[in-house]
Amino acid sequence: MAEQAPSTPERTVRVLLIDDDEDDYILTRELLEGVPGAQFQIEWEPDADAALDSICRGDHDVYIIDFLLGRRTGLEIIEESVKRNCSAPLILLTGQGKRELDFAAMRAGAADYLEKGNLDSTLLERSIRYAIQKKQSEDQLDKRVQERTAELARINEILQGEIRERERAEKALREIVQRKDEFLATLAHELRNPLAPIRNALEIMRLGAMTPDTIERCRSMMQRQVSHMVRLIDDLLDISRITRGKIALKMERICLDDAVAVAIEGSQPLIDARNHVLTVRLPDEPICLTADSTRLTQILINLLNNAAKYTEPGGEIELTASLQGSHVVLRVKDTGIGIPSDLLPHIFDMFAQVDHSRDHAQGGLGIGLSLVRGLVELHGGTVDAHSNGAGSGSEFIVKLPISGGA
């Protein structure tokens, strides 16, 4: 700690004498005037309450308090000021030298204890100097403690933030691991599903005696199931290519009507199977844009299939295309089960399914929308989902730049 210069009264030291006897005031003033080279400005306060207020305001550098103050004692004033958290250098002055009083003053928080009988200028000046110096040291210590406490609080805050951040990251990691586990189970299930009917068909063939009609039914069923498996595996390969940045678009000038027609052809069997009504609204003037037509069809099929899957049979699905400045806007809207608002932001995450058991029953891996977003973004576009909640239908809006994002 840097050494402090002694607080010799180089500047005027403001002293308040708290005493109900004016003679004491005159005497103390004379003693202070007798201090060689010192500058003191002494004031006198006979009223204990007014003195307490002054102590708390810190009007003076030091307070000399007489022990006997009418109905109160100097000790009480010291105790009261400490209770009020008013830390000022307080010196107790007494006419009767009693050792117990000396100790009581110290315990109460006085800086010093002086007996009137022994008092002279030197002793008084010394006591004042020590009291002020003690107060300065205490203030400095307080300041350092406060600074250190503030620094510790700041460090603690940073550490708490880091802990929270780590907990968030761990939670996110646990969720990813859980979703991956669920995904693996779903994948196994989805890949196994088509095998049962294929195996049945093979068994029927093994038994022989097949009519042309049975052969055709077995063939078309096997073709359907194999196409389904091929689509699952293609989706998986695509999503892995997108995440590794390994997918290349074949950008060319295409007509939106053609891509829409191919997509409808792809989704129509599912839409029909669930008795939905599909309404398509395209602008009179055909829209042409630069895009990868296979990928654009894949985007639309995914959205149409979702609309068909997540709408109770007999629902309505709407596909609309329009031009908005330099963008094509495609909307797929349904009257289906909707999406809870808290899950909307996560719907495009990989393996995300709103209600695993429910969506699982509809078949699917939870990668369709993730694929859609990846493909749309590769085109320099955006995709958003809207829903007013469960039972209120959903709408997916894809915006693609006509120029192909180049």
Ligand X SMILES: Nc1ncnc2c1ncn2[C@@H]1O[C@H](COP(=O)(O)OP(=O)(O)OP(=O)(O)O)[C@@H](O)[C@H]1O
Phi, psi of 122 (to 5 degrees): -60, -45
Interface with ligand X by CB under 6 A: which range of 155-163, 167-175, 350-358, 397-405? 350-358
**Closer Cβ to ligand X, 364 or 404, answer by number:** 364
Instruction: Establish if 352 lies at the interface with ligand X (CB under 6 A).
Output: yes
Task: With beta carbons less than 8 A apart as the criterion, state whether 14 and 61 touch.
Answer: yes
Main-chain phi, psi angles of 402, to 5 degrees: -60, -35
Interface residue with ligand X, options 73, 290, 297, 353 (CB under 6 A): 353
Residue 38 contacts which entry, ligand X, Mg ion, none (Cβ below 5-8 A, type-dependent): none
> With binding defined as CB under 5 A, does residue 306 bind Mg ion?
yes
Q: Tell me how far apart the alpha carbons of residues 79 and 31 are, in angstroms, rounded to a whole number.
A: 27
Structure-derived torsion over alpha carbons of residues 267, 272, 273, 277, reported in degrees to the nearest 10: 100
Which option in ligand X, Mg ion, none does residue 183 bind, with CB closer than 5 to 8 A by kind? none
For residue 44, the cross-strand partners are 17
**Residue 374 binds ligand X (CB under 6 A):** no
Single out the segment in contact with ligand X by CB under 6 A; choices: 22-30, 126-134, 277-285, 358-366. 358-366
- Rounded to the nearest whole angstrom, what is the least distance from the CB of residue 329 to ligand X in the complex? 17
- What's the CA gap between 402 and 406, in Å, rounded? 10
Pick the piece of the chain touching Mg ion (CB under 5 A) from 99-107, 351-359, 364-372, 383-391: 364-372
Query: Measured from the CB of residue 389, what is the shortest distance to Mg ion in angstroms?
Result: 20
* DSSP 8-class letter at 2: P
Interface with Mg ion includes 315 (CB under 5 A)? no
Choice between 110 and 365, CB closer to ligand X: 365
Q: Check binding of 112 to ligand X (CB under 6 A).
A: no
The sign of the CA dihedral 324, 330, 336, 339 is: negative
Considering the complex, what minimum distance in angstroms separates the CB of residue 220 from ligand X? 22
Backbone angles phi, psi at 317, to 5 degrees: -125, 140
Which of residues 297 and 306 has its CB atom nearest to Mg ion in the complex? Answer: 306
Please pick, from the candidates 9, 366, 374, 404, the single residue that binds ligand X as defined by CB under 6 A: 366
H helix count then E strand count, the chain? 11, 14
94 binds ligand X (CB under 6 A): no
- Nearer Cβ to ligand X (158/195): 195
Report the nearest approach of ligand X to the CB of residue 159 (Å).
38
Work out whether 364 is an interface residue with ligand X (CB under 6 A). yes
Of 95, 128, 92, the C-alpha closest to 109 is: 92
The region of 10-18, 35-43, 111-119, 364-372 touching ligand X under the rule CB under 6 A is 364-372
Nearer to ligand X, 40 or 396 (CB): 396
Query: For residue 380, which amino acid is it?
Result: G
H or E segment and range at residue 149: helix 121-192
368 near ligand X, judged by CB under 6 A: yes
User: What are the b/e assignments for 84-98, b being 16+ CB within 10 Å?
Assistant: eebbbbbbbbbeeee
Instruction: Show the binding pattern over residues 77-116: x = contacts Mg ion (CB under 5 A), - = does not.
Output: ----------------------------------------
Q: Considering CB under 6 A, how many residues would be counted as binding ligand X?
A: 21
- Residue 347 binds ligand X, judged by CB under 6 A: yes
Q: Which of 231, 232, 243 is nearest to 378 (CA)?
A: 243
Taking the least distance from each CB to ligand X, the nearer of 19 and 238 is 238
What kind and span of H or E run contains 254? Answer: strand 252-255
Q: 260-268 long-range contacts, Cβ below 8 Å, gap at least 24?
A: 260/300, 260/319, 260/321, 262/293, 262/297, 263/296, 263/297, 263/300, 263/301, 263/304, 264/304, 264/319, 266/297, 266/301, 266/304, 267/300, 267/301, 267/304, 267/305, 267/308
Q: What are phi and psi of 395, to 5 degrees?
A: -140, 135
User: Please, which residue, 9 or 381, has the CB nearer to ligand X?
Assistant: 381
What mask, x for binding ligand X by CB under 6 A, covers residues 281 to 310? -------------------------xx--x
Binding residues for ligand X (CB under 6 A): 306-307, 310, 334, 336-339, 347, 352-354, 359, 364-370, 394
